[in-house]
Amino acid sequence: MLIEILLTLIIITVLVLSYLERKDLNNRLMARSLKELREHTDKDEKNDIEPEDDDTIPLEDAQDLIQEEMNG
């Protein structure tokens, strides 16, 4: 019984994902021009990665600190 439910969920998931992919491919194939293709294609989200902290330690200094902590 549990296996049947699990397999049914897997099949439904695969069907939904394939439908979404087919829909996107149809939009791309049916575009008349590059402009129309760009209008119907999802745009990537802006990358909002914050810059790294400025208090980074060079690799050699970090290795020296680790050696000092290990040796006491």
Mean pLDDT over the full length of the chain: 82
* Domain residue ranges of the chain, discontinuous segments joined by +: 16-41
Q: Where are the beta strands (DSSP E) in 1-72?
A: none
Check residues 15 and 51 and name the one with the higher pLDDT.
15
> What is the per-residue pLDDT across 23-34, written as a single tens digit (0 to 9) for each?
888 777 776 777
Mean pLDDT, range 36-57, rounded to an integer: 70
